[in-house]
Amino acid sequence: MSKRLAIVSSGISGPLNSAVEFAKQAKLFGYEVCVFAPKSSFDLISHFGLEYGEIPIPKVDAFADLLTADQFRTLSSNDRLDCAVNALGVNDFSASMSRFQPDVIFVDCELHAHIIVGLSLGPPVIQCSSMFLSPPGSQAPPLNKRACPGVGMRGSRIGISIIWMSFLIWKLKKILRNKFKHQGADFTSALLELARRYNVPIARIRRLICWQMPWTYKIPTVLFLPQSIDLPTRPYSDFSYLGAMVIQDRPEKPHDREKVRRFCSGQGTKKRIFVGFGTMMKPKSDLLVNLWEVASKHPEWQFLFAAGQNWEDGGSCDYPRNVDVVAWVPQHQVLKHAHLAIMHGGTGGLIEAVEAATPVLLYPHVNDQQGSAARAVFHGIGRAGRHADTVEKIENDIQKLLTDPKYKKNCKALQASCQQEKVDGGLAAFLQNVTTQSN
């Protein structure tokens, strides 16, 4: 009988895509797989013929309100804590796992409540991440902090260590303030109470000194990433890199095929620049306005902007003639034809650029994107800008990335390293090992 894998995802786009690709590959190796995710994930999961299990939309923000204002005002302290635990949305998770009977449970590292309940059930629980989770130290800064190892004072070993100390102090203060603000019905208190109810020894297995909020777990952890792209840190002994989990055959969305075809086919000697900020920016943001100006100054460059669906006022923008704007693109295909990619630094986009050996100019915005920028700069495959950069600064960065051959050379070297990781193929052996241990 085939071994059964439960894969639990938050439904957030990046982690969901990684979870689905992981599920696809595991299924090809002969495992029975069920992906548990919120209802909004059903179409993508079912598109690939994977078994689907619905879970409520999980709580992933460690500092969000778990209770309403009325509940805070009217309930006793015990009732508030009880409501906070219920708000975690895992009351039926144990029953869902019992019905599927998995041999191993893989859970997104941000789904703390599901990890805790999973640990009470018997099968091995493995937390998974599509983000780089470098341990605190002197070689890799926190993912949300701007610093690149070896670059300037902030990138020195002392500088990175100071950044970590400052971050961990800030994190502790934020957890304590949140506990006081929510009167003991905060996210952290709810997790501790959940662990108590399920007899999970949380004090022994949680790891407080880490980037994740509010903590992570001393359990096997898989990263859906190539190790070649990471910084040269020493990961925890229970960490495993499984290589890039990026869906290449994702279902297409409506888009202007002619503009994409024109970009990919090229126009004479023009350099092709793909800009993929998606829905994170409005067309009249300062950075994009400056990019329009750069484009207008360089008709020898051809730009393709993937704009997302929310540029309602995009029609009022007077785009330069060498700029095409589309709602969506098959990004992995476009990157293969681009001479440069300008993006916000999401891990998925960075990996796709590496796989295409395309230099990147990153403008980090939120969460782990500063970490992507640090890795791009460290490996010499790109540059990192700021949203407040001037037209001259943006223009200079683009010029260097298009004309300095070292960037393309480094891209090809990193691409080859990632391809070698695929050839070495540790996924099959990893799955066999963890499912054998579950016997």
The answer, yes or no, to whether residue 313 has pLDDT greater than 60, is: no
313: amino acid identity, one letter: D
Q: What is the mean pLDDT of the chain?
A: 92
Rg of the Cα atoms in the chain: 23
Report yes or no: 113 and 17 within 8 Å, Cβ to Cβ. no
Going by C-alpha positions, the residue among 114, 127, 129 that lies closest to residue 18 is 129
Question: 203-207, 223-227, 434-438: lowest mean pLDDT where?
Answer: 434-438
Going by C-alpha positions, the residue among 213, 371, 391 that lies closest to residue 289 is 391
Return the structure tokens found at 333.
């295909």
Report yes or no: 308 and 327 within 8 Å, Cβ to Cβ. yes
Give residue 143's pLDDT band: very low, low, confident or very high (50, 70, 90). Answer: very high
Are residues 116 and 235 located together in one domain of the fold? yes
Q: What backbone torsions phi and psi does residue 106 show, to the nearest 5 degrees?
A: -100, 125
| Predicted pLDDT at 2 | 86
Pairing of strands 301-306, 216-217: unpaired
Beta bridge partners of 108: 128
Are residues 93 and 233 located together in one domain of the fold? yes
> Mean per-residue pLDDT for 412-434?
90
The answer, yes or no, to whether residue 309 has pLDDT greater than 60, is: no
CATH number (domain holding residue 344): 3.40.50.2000
Report yes or no: 358 and 338 within 8 Å, Cβ to Cβ. yes
Residue 369 lies in domain: 257-403
Q: Does residue 186 lie within any of the structural domains? A: yes
100's CB contacts (< 8 A; 6+ apart) are 4, 6, 34, 53
For residue 217, what is the enclosing H or E element?
strand 216-217
Are residues 354 and 327 located together in one domain of the fold? yes
| Predicted pLDDT at 312 | 46
pTM of the model as a whole: 0.93
Are residues 323 and 278 located together in one domain of the fold? yes
- The rounded distance, in Å, linking the Cα atoms of 142 and 131 is 12
Q: Does residue 146 lie within any of the structural domains? A: yes
Q: Does residue 415 lie within any of the structural domains? A: no
- The rounded distance, in Å, linking the Cα atoms of 344 and 350 is 9
Are residues 265 and 238 located together in one domain of the fold? no
Are residues 16 and 134 located together in one domain of the fold? yes
Are residues 115 and 235 located together in one domain of the fold? yes
212-253 tens-digit pLDDT = 999 999 999 999 999 999 998 888 889 999 999 999 888 888
Tokens 């903590």 map to which residue?
A: 215
Tell me how many degrees the CA angle 300-301-302 measures, rounded to the nearest 5.
125
Q: Does residue 409 lie within any of the structural domains? A: no
Q: Please give the share of the chain, as a percent, with pLDDT higher than 70.
A: 95
Are residues 272 and 323 located together in one domain of the fold? yes
The number of folded domains in the chain is 2
343-400 tens-digit pLDDT = 999 999 999 999 999 999 999 987 789 999 999 999 999 999 999 999 999 999 999 9
**What counts of helices (H) and strands (E) characterise the chain?**
17, 15
Beta bridge partners of 341: 274, 360
Tokens 């407080």 map to which residue?
A: 208
Are residues 268 and 344 located together in one domain of the fold? yes
Are residues 73 and 178 located together in one domain of the fold? yes
Tokens 């052996």 map to which residue?
A: 429
Where in 109-213 does DSSP place strands (E)?
Answer: 125-129, 206-207
Q: Does residue 18 lie within any of the structural domains? A: yes
Give residue 423's pLDDT band: very low, low, confident or very high (50, 70, 90). Answer: confident
Q: Does residue 241 lie within any of the structural domains? A: yes
| 68: Cα within 13 Å, side-chain hemisphere | 3
Q: Does residue 126 lie within any of the structural domains? A: yes
Of 122 and 317, the structure prediction assigns the larger pLDDT to 122
